[in-house]
Structure 1
Amino acid sequence: MLRSALTVGGWTMASRILGFARDMLIASRLGAGPVADAFFIALKLPNLFRRLFGEGAFNAAFVPAFAGTLAAEGRANAQALAERMGALMALWLGMLVLLGILFMPQMMRVLAPGFVEDPAKFALTVELTRITFPYLMLICLTALVGGVLNGLDRFAAAAAAPVFFNLISMATLLFLTPYVATAGHALAWGVLASGVVQLAIVLWATAQAGMALNILRPPAITPEVRQVLRRMVPGVIGAGVVQLNLAVDVVIASLLPSGAISFLYYADRVAQLPLGVIGAAVGTALLPLLSRQLRAGQPLSAHRSMNRAVEMSLLLTLPAAVGLAAAAGPIIAALFQRGAFGAVEASASSMALIAYAVGLPAFVLVKVFAPGFFARGDTATPVKLGLFAVALNLALNLVLMGPLQHVGVALSTSLAAWANAAMLLCLLTRRRHFVADRRARRAVPRILAAAAAMGVAVAAAAYALPAAADSLGRALMAAVLIGLGGAVFAGGGTWLGAFDPREVLHMLRRRRSGAALAAKRS
């Protein structure tokens, strides 16, 4: 599992770094003004549907079914299942995209009602979203094919595909902008083009893995397909509630002063670095592993896998969360404060980043705990457990948006994530599907102590260091704080016995030697 998680995490890290480069370019060209707000809405809408139909409920139902079919019935039957699901998804999402493009003004009146008072901003948002909306179908099909690759223990291509989203977005912003109405139009066309490229990459990878998929075959509803769809239904309902909650965040942000959506976007992008690299990597690698172990009748192996996943997630996430909260101002300033994005915008985004950092460990733990249900074919329970968290998020949004403005939106999301993670853990523990073993009980408190010491050191240094006046100075200050935080956490964690550096180095060497052997065999 570690090797798979590191593969996914490595490519995700590359994508996140390029994503920062893209966002730095967007911030310098668009700032936090009306064009930026319009583009971020245009990007968010297809992503809301992607999380609903692509990466969330679908993969939770499809990956265990595909992995189980592959193990029990062979590659031919597993490929047939994937092709039938792909054809069904292409038909359904194609119809959804067509309806979305036709009725986009009506959708925008619901999703961004605050824009209606500014006709030019509203019209721009509708136009940009019509361009980006077909990305929904392309990226959901990419998620399906990526699930096939994960079931085949091929993680690199699916994890590498998002790199091209960032590369193409930057290229279109730089070179297409002079030929279209606004920089937002160039970015929107870049989103659409990247969807085509990402789908082509994963289809090529499945062909290289000996399972060339034909997702354009006529759809057929077989018993296996019905089983996946039945397992999807609770997840789609649950994901729909969660995505509705995220949509409410957008609605509330659109009612706040101009720039609120952009402030939340830039802060979320920074918070998504550890969330994507750690949470997505561990969750992606854990689900097929647990599915195989449980299907093979190895509950003790599944138990150890869950413990190590929790331990690894907290080891990587807690220091990231504490560091982001302690150094939010210097980090946002170093990344985005240039051009059209000034000190006022940086300060507003840094406050939102602190609020997101509060919930970062919870976001990752939800991705770790959920496979404990999905691998057992239980997609309904996480939905039921999430209902209270969704209601809490909605209530907190309404309560906090007044006094805290956009920061209240971010904070309510974090608090709801902690409620969700706590309920998932409680039920897993009650069912004896997760019991913290001796190693985890020993390591987690020490990780917490090391992260707390790091936070104190970083906050003190950020307070003591003088404010930088230029981009180079801000970058150096952020680098000093990050380096200090890493050194304090590594030293404190080693001294407290939270982790053993020799064990980490051994696992990394084993991963490199395994990769070299695989390359030699191929």
Structure 2
Amino acid sequence: MAKSRLFRSTMIVSSMTMLSRILGLLRDMVLMSVFGAGGLMDAFLVAFKIPNFLRRLFAEGAFSQAFVPVLTEYKEKRSFNEVQLLIARTSGVLSLILLVLTVVVIILAPQVITLFAPGFIGDAQKFDTAADLLRLTFPYLLFISMTAFFGSILQSYGRFAAPAFAPVLLNLAMIGGTLILAPMMDTPIMALGYAVAVSGILQLVIQLPQLWQQKLLVAPSINFHDDGVKKILKLMLPAIFGVSVTQINLLLSTVFASLMMAGSVSWMYAAERLSELPLGLIGVAIGTVILPSLSASRAKADQETFVKTLDWAARLIILVGLPASLAMFVLSNVLMDALFVRGEFDANDALMSGVALKALSGGILGFMLIKIFAPAFFADQDTKTPVKVGIISVFANMLFSVLFIGIFYLARLPLHGGLALATTAASFVNAALLYFILHQRGIYRFGKPWRKRFAQFIIASTVMVIALYLLLPFYPAQQTQWYKLLWLLIICLAGAAVYGVALLATGFRPSQLRHH
């Protein structure tokens, strides 16, 4: 029963995430069409990326990975009243920290923009607009972090639908802001700042009814001396560099991109959004679902279930991540052309974004593996190991950035492509080191059955790539956008079908995906 619930929970999170990602893709198509790449769009993307980066770092990354194991331990070993007290004190401390941080950033907005986008300094309009937008978007961090906090509680109690649906509201708010509010404003791009702030409130509110039903909606209280709070903070501080290291690397890429030609930030953003599509659908969904299960296995000292859960997650990740990575590489230019070329986003923007997507596509599998290997450590309340690996990965990203930018410069290729390739390389460094340590400690390793699985996945993916290359010449590059989208859908579905048939031909069966 528990195993079927795990799979059902994954499907719930994945389906809600799919809806969010589809709307997110529609949102980006609308944004690029109305505002184009470069100029003030770069300013918004930087202003939005800063709180969004911190959200992933603190709320979805370090905080949830530190909070869920402690909450699970309280559920297993303590009374319900003690669980409520932990929630009250943790929410009080978290909201106080976030409130102080929000006020400081609003006051120091120009200095923060200087830190994260030094290339904007020479363009007064872009710099000032970015600072104004940051003041509007940064309160989003407070609301969305509390949303993630409440979502972690609901997920620990097996309630995944509301937390997974919440991001849909961000996409709807930004689409509404672009199409309805922007035309009414003197500086249309500012509408996006208001939309982001409102969406944070909406995502928080949608969690409250289920919390109330579970009797977990308790008034916050501030107590830094509570044992549970101290334990969470102790786990959280080093975890900041753990599971969220991918976001740090992507942010470093934004800093470098701000120093390059106008449009580089937007091109990188468009590529990142598409590369995150399979990551969000499967990687984030599985990572979200397995953490409470892994934490419960650790609390019960059930090593067998712990390993089986991790192995099941790895099977799903590689089943989807490997072909997704290869397909994204093959279809990068077609994806950008079909999805984004309209309005202010022209063919050159699509070409430049395609360069970044090609380089980022290779890292999709690496990003996904991090999502399951890191929780294996956090479930054991070990945050030191991922932080060490994270620091190594950040430095690797810096070195790779310098190396690949130099190579791309000498080869006369767009420099932002070198940045994207550095992010990909750093993700594999991170994933490989996490796995090596799990293997070395005897916690988890790819056993003998994986030899056959790897062969099956590689053969099926190779057949799919050949099929995609054979289908590409049929793409109608000179037709209308809707006709292009139709053909893109046909090519993607055909590629998926070929992959599935090839996988079955190698002897792989759906039963191998069961959580045994």
- Normalised by the length of structure 2, the TM-score is 0.94
Cα offset, 1:477, TM superposition: 2.2
Cα offset, 1:482, TM superposition: 0.2
Aligned to 2:47: 42
Distance 1:330 1:19 in 2: 19
Q: Which amino acid aligns with 2:150?
A: V
Distance 1:435 1:396 in 2: 28
Deviations 1:174-233 (A, max 9, x none): 111132233321111100000001011112221123322323x34452111111111112
Match of 2:497 among 478, 487, 490: 487
Distance 1:438 1:244 in 2: 35
Distance 2:163 2:99 in 1: 22
Tell me if structure 2 keeps the 8 A contact 1:307–1:440. no
Aligned to 1:520: none
Cα offset, 1:399, TM superposition: 2.4
Gaps of 5+ in 2: 1-5
Q: Which amino acid aligns with 1:194?
A: S
Aligned to 2:338: 334
Deviations 1:458-477 (A, max 9, x none): 02321454523320221122
Match of 1:172 among 177, 196, 209: 177
Q: Which amino acid aligns with 1:154?
A: R
Aligned to 1:293: 297
Q: Is the alpha carbon distance of 1:242 and 1:470 closer, same or farther for their aligned partners in structure 2, counting shifts above 3 Å?
A: closer
Cα offset, 1:242, TM superposition: 6.1
Q: Is the alpha carbon distance of 1:2 and 1:441 closer, same or farther for their aligned partners in structure 2, counting shifts above 3 Å?
A: farther
Map 1:25-424; keep pairs closer than 5 Å. Answer: 25-215=30-220, 217-238=221-242, 244-402=248-406, 403=409, 404-424=414-434
Distance 1:317 1:244 in 2: 21
Q: Which amino acid aligns with 1:342?
A: D
Aligned to 1:458: 468
Aligned to 1:15: 20
Aligned to 2:445: 435
Q: Which amino acid aligns with 1:34?
A: G
- The range that moved more, 224-233 or 458-467, is 458-467
Tell me if structure 2 keeps the 8 A contact 1:79–1:213. yes
- The range that moved more, 444-453 or 230-239, is 230-239
Tell me if structure 2 keeps the 8 A contact 1:231–1:378. yes
Q: Which amino acid aligns with 1:491?
A: V
Aligned to 2:3: none
Cα offset, 1:95, TM superposition: 0.7
Tell me if structure 2 keeps the 8 A contact 1:51–1:239. no
Deviations 1:80-100 (A, max 9, x none): 112211110111110111110
Q: Is the alpha carbon distance of 1:70 and 1:393 closer, same or farther for their aligned partners in structure 2, counting shifts above 3 Å?
A: same
Cα offset, 1:241, TM superposition: 6.9
Distance 1:89 1:337 in 2: 42
Cα offset, 1:443, TM superposition: 1.8
Report the aligned-residue RMSD.
1.8
Cα offset, 1:348, TM superposition: 0.8
Distance 1:501 1:106 in 2: 53
Q: Is the alpha carbon distance of 1:161 and 1:369 closer, same or farther for their aligned partners in structure 2, counting shifts above 3 Å?
A: same
Distance 1:481 1:240 in 2: 33
Q: SS of 1:212's equivalent?
A: coil
Distance 1:349 1:202 in 2: 36
Q: Is the alpha carbon distance of 1:242 and 1:259 closer, same or farther for their aligned partners in structure 2, counting shifts above 3 Å?
A: same
Tell me if structure 1 keeps the 8 A contact 2:151–2:207. yes
Q: Is the alpha carbon distance of 1:311 and 1:242 closer, same or farther for their aligned partners in structure 2, counting shifts above 3 Å?
A: closer
Distance 2:244 2:57 in 1: 6
Q: Is the alpha carbon distance of 1:370 and 1:89 closer, same or farther for their aligned partners in structure 2, counting shifts above 3 Å?
A: same
Q: Is the alpha carbon distance of 1:362 and 1:77 closer, same or farther for their aligned partners in structure 2, counting shifts above 3 Å?
A: same
Q: SS of 1:176's equivalent?
A: helix
Deviations 1:115-160 (A, max 9, x none): 1111111111111111001101111111111111111111111111
Aligned to 1:516: none
Distance 2:296 2:245 in 1: 30
Cα offset, 1:448, TM superposition: 1.7
Q: SS of 1:381's equivalent?
A: helix
Tell me if structure 2 keeps the 8 A contact 1:451–1:489. yes
Distance 1:457 1:495 in 2: 15
Distance 2:495 2:241 in 1: 41
Q: SS of 1:32's equivalent?
A: coil
Gaps of 5+ in 1: 508-522
Cα offset, 1:501, TM superposition: 4.0
Tell me if structure 1 keeps the 8 A contact 2:363–2:427. yes
Tell me if structure 1 keeps the 8 A contact 2:27–2:175. yes
Match of 1:474 among 468, 478, 484: 484
Aligned to 2:459: 449
- The range that moved more, 392-401 or 417-426, is 392-401
Aligned to 1:512: none
Aligned to 1:510: none
Size of the alignment, in residue pairs? 504
Cα offset, 1:502, TM superposition: 6.4
